[in-house]
Structures are given as C-alpha cells and as structure tokens.
C-alpha cells in the first residue's frame, strides 16, 4: 500500500502528496518562489511566474516571458464553481506542488460540466450574472474568479480561462447553453468579450480557451463565439487564445461549415484516438498531409500547438476509444504527442475535472476505469498524475523544443508501422520518432513494447550513439548492451520484457 504524506493548510484542509520532504516546507509558497523535492526520478518544482506565455521566435513552441521553453502540464478543472475558495486554494496548492503549471477552468460553468448550482453559480449562491445571462456580469462573482486566477499565480500556474461554457447546438443534451449566447445576441457577446478582455488583460498568467466540444448549429451560433473572441482580443493583446472544436478529432484551426476561428494564436488538438496522428495534423501547415489529412497550422506565422483534450484518467468514453483512461493509455497519449511537435497538454481526471464528491454524476466515470473510487480529494495523487510528473521530468531533461517529428522516416527507416488518424489509443501500433536537427538526439516511443521493432539509420547521428531504454512508470534508464554504437549503417531496436508496472510501453533515447 502506497504511503501518503499530508500537509495541513491554514483552512484545515489536508493536501495529499507523495513527497515526504514537502511536510517540512511551507504549505503556501510566495508568488514566484521555487522549491523542489524528489520522488525517485521525479523532481517537482513550483515554477516561478515569468508570465505571460507566448510563442517562440519560430512559432513552434511556447516560451515564458524570459524566452525560456514552457512545457505545458495543465489540468482541466472546468467545474471550479463546485468548490469554494478554501478548497480551491488547497486544490491549486496541490497541483502547483506536483509540478502542474496550468489549470483550465470555466469563468461561467454550466450544467454540461456538471455545475448544478442555481444560475451557473457557486454552491454558496454567488452567481455570474446579476440579471439577464451574458449581459449583466456580477462584480462580486468575477472578483472570486479573480481570486482563483491569483491562486494559480501564487503556485506558478497559468490560468487557462474558458469565457462561458457553451457546448454545441448539434448535440441535444446541451443546445440550451449555446442558446444563452444566441439569445443575448451578437452585439452583447462582443460586449461580454470586451468586459473579460479589460478585466483579465492585467493578469500576466492568463490564456484564453474558447468552446468545449464546439460544433456550431448555425451561422449565428458560430458568430456569437467569434464575437466573444474578437471582443476579448480588442481589449487584450497580451494573452494567447485557442478554441476547442468537437471530437472525435479536431484542431483549433480546422474550418467549420460556418467559418474558421482564424484569430487563434495557439493551435489546440483534440482527439479520442491515438494522439500522434491528429497532433501531426495540428503541427503541419496546409501544404502537408499526414495519413491523408491536410495540416491545419498557419503557413506564414506558425502557431505553437498543444493537446487540449484527449481521454481523461478513469474515463471510459463510448465509441471505441479503447478505454482511454487507464494509466498505460494515458502514457501512450502523452509520449506520442510530444514526438509530434506539441508544446505540452491539458489533461483531465474524471473526479477532479467535475470535483466529484461521491461519484455518479458523470456516466463516463461510473465504471471505475483504473480502479478509482471516492471523491476528487482522494484522487489528487492518482497514477496518472504520478506518471505525468515523470513525463514532465523526462522531457525537461532533454531539449524537447528542438525535437522535430521524423515524418519522412529519415531516422527511423523501417518498422514504425502505419500512421493513422482516429485509431483507438490502445491499439495504435505506430512508433513515433523525433530528432534534433544537429544529430545529437533522437527519441522513439514503443507503445506496444516488444511487439514493435524500429530500424534506425545510425548515419544520421553526429557521432557514436549511446542507446538507452527509459521506463515511464518508474523513471529508470537502462543502457542497451553494446552501447555506444558506431554511427555507421543501421541498427534494429526493440524492447524486451515489460516495464516496471507490467505494461509494454518504453521510450528509446539515442544520444550522440
């Protein structure tokens, strides 16, 4: 049984964490402070602010205000209105202390994300609008949202704000929410966007996230979302903006039948299948295709791309996605996306996203995929979170921002399999490869373990090659027998046995 350590915050709420050393550290570090502790190979750091986040000079990855690469490890907490400030601060503290550097939440949370409080408000009755929806912002409510944004800053995290949770009018379960915006009208939506832009442009740690599974029902429905976006941008030129269109797969720069959200400055990828294929679509511009699908990134000024949603931990989405919420499938998502040019991801946990207290509200999570039980508070240290901490530590140990996807198979020349779009993540057997252009580093991910063998062109490396297997379940490296290898000819690589958790997946790291 895994040992737990606890920190008691001033509110009396207990934050669980895997780091015994953390118990001797301040429970609430000051804004911009840095501290770290180790969990095996994991090092967690409450990162200094250094906001706002922006695009790198080549447009391919995110950087902080100092120009340093920013690897996004963010979590969806859409229904933040289901918890009040004391619990919210404890939640943000826990995530910051585990190495998360972003939290995505709704400024206005609706029944679609299981906010069943009256008037889309908080459980204590505080509502976002004093009168008519959209047009009468309640100052007291938004002051509380300001407080939550500040909590994110206190723990070194980006606040990724969804301006108004509006699913689409195509799906019958939520047409009424989109109807709020349509009923208010296009002009009112512009005004609301300007209100948000004026309010949050002064917060350095903000990023904008529009839509959520959004497929507009008609032209007017498209226009109201676009008007909110344009209203924000009129007032706020400081922060990146993305939009989440509908699954089963999409990117922010895809077109709908009513138009393209071309004002987006961050390309977000969304899929319930294997992440690599759709991420390559989000990475490529329109002149390049991957698995038969044209890229959606911008040609003249590329956007950084992130995975804004895939399968959540403990999730069992109907429709053949392969029970994506198990630990091994979450790792398959996470490592594959980083080898397709992404700058990180927004993850989810079925208990935390909706702040479940006893489970049962969301039909996708009642099956207990991965064996989870209880409430959001006792799932903060979930297996997925611990794996994600190792994921971040691994990529921050290498120049991930210089990795280029090996699309034309120059480095991995055979055995990589067939790339796909929307193939269930648990069956996708493609071996993604990425390498730095200087010939000093290549990384490949074997999602199916020793069922896969990759032929590598050793001549692409700048010198003799040290070859290692990285175990994503415990952070251990194992040098391959005979390494270093000469950078002559080709060499076949395939992992043997299982990883530390008994799963097949492994990462090949080649350095010269």
pLDDT digits (tens, 9 = 90+) for 28-41: 222 222 223 333 34
d(CA 41, CA 394): 9
Fold of 405-511: Immunoglobulin-like (2.60.40)
pTM for the complete prediction? 0.89
Compute the mean pLDDT over every residue in the chain, rounded to the nearest whole number. Answer: 85
Q: At what angle do helices 219-235 and 186-200 cross, to 10 degrees?
A: 30
Residue 152 near residue 32 (C-beta atoms within 8 A): no
Residue 499 pLDDT > 70:
yes
Max CA separation in the chain (angstroms): 72
Q: Quick one: average pLDDT of 280-309? A: 94
The pLDDT of residue 354 = 87
Sequence ranges of the chain with CATH classification 2.60.40 = 405-511
Question: In 3D, which of 55, 45, 508 has the Cα closest to residue 238?
Answer: 55
- Average pLDDT value for residue range 299-319: 85
Q: For 267-396, where are the E strands, in sequence order?
A: 267-271, 289-290, 293-294, 305-309, 344-347
Confidence at residue 116, expressed as pLDDT on a 0 to 100 scale: 83
Q: Is the pLDDT of residue 11 over 50?
A: no
pLDDT tens-digit readout, 103-133: 999 999 988 788 889 999 999 999 999 999 9
The residue length of the chain stands at 512
Which CATH number does 49-399 carry? Answer: 3.20.20.80
pLDDT at 213: 82
Rounded mean pLDDT, 150-156: 96
Asked if the model's pLDDT at residue 274 lies above 90, the reply is no
Which regions of the chain carry the CATH code 3.20.20.80?
49-399
How many C-beta atoms lie closer than 10 Å to residue 332's C-beta?
A: 28
Given the structure tokens 């120009």, which residue do they identify? 67
């Amino acid at each position: 049984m895994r040992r737990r350590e606890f920190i008691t915050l001033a509110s009396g709420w207990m934050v669980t964490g895997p780091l015994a050393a953390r118990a001797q550290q301040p429970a609430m570090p000051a804004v911009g402070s840095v501290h770290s502790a180790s969990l095996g190979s994991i090092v967690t750091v409450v990162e200094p602010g250094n906001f706002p986040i922006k695009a790198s000079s080549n447009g391919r990855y995110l950087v902080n205000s100092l120009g340093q690469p920013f690897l996004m490890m963010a979590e969806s907490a859409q229904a933040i209105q289901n918890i009040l400030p004391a619990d919210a601060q404890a939640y943000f503290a826990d995530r910051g202390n585990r190495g998360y550097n972003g939290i995505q939440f709704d400024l206005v949370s609706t029944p679609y994300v299981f906010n069943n409080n009256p008037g889309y408000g908080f459980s204590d009755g505080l509502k976002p609008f004093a009168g008519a929806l959209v047009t009468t912002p309640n100052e007291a409510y938004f002051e509380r949202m300001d407080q939550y944004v500040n909590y994110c800053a206190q723990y070194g995290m980006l606040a990724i704000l969804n301006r108004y949770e509006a699913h689409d009018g195509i799906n019958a379960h939520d047409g009424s929410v989109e109807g709020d915006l349509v009923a208010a009208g296009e002009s009112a939506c512009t005004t609301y966007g300007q209100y948000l832009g004026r309010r949050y442009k002064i917060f350095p740690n903000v990023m904008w996230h529009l839509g959520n599974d959004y497929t507009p029902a008609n032209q007017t429905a498209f226009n109201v979302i676009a008007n909110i976006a344009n209203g924000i941008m009129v007032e706020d030129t400081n922060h990146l903006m993305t939009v989440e269109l509908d699954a089963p797969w999409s990117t922010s720069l895809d077109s709908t039948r009513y138009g393209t959200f071309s004002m987006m400055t961050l390309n977000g990828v969304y899929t319930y299948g294997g992440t690599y294929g759709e991420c390559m679509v989000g990475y490529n511009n329109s002149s390049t295709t991957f698995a038969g699908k044209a890229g959606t990134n911008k040609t003249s000024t590329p956007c950084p791309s992130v995975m804004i949603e895939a399968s959540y931990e403990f999730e069992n989405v109907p429709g053949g996605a392969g029970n994506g919420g198990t630990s091994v499938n979450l790792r398959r998502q996470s490592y594959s996306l980083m080898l397709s040019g992404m700058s990180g991801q927004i993850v989810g946990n079925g208990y935390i996203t909706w702040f479940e207290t006893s489970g049962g509200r969301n039909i996708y999570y009642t099956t207990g995929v991965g064996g989870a039980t209880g409430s959001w508070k006792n799932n903060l240290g979930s297996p997925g979170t611990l794996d994600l901490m190792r994921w971040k530590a691994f990529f921050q140990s290498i120049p991930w921002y210089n990795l280029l996807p090996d699309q034309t198979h120059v480095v991995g020349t055979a055995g990589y399999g067939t790339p796909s779009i929307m193939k269930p993540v648990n069956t996708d057997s493609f071996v993604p490869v990425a390498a730095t252009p200087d010939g000093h580093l290549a990384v490949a991910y074997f999602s199916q373990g020793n069922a896969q063998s990759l032929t590598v062109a050793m001549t692409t490396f700048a010198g003799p090659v040290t070859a290692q297997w990285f175990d994503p379940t415990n952070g251990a490296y194992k040098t391959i027998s005979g390494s270093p290898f000469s950078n002559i000819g080709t060499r076949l690589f395939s992992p043997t046995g299982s990883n530390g958790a008994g799963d097949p997946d492994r990462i090949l790291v080649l350095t010269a």
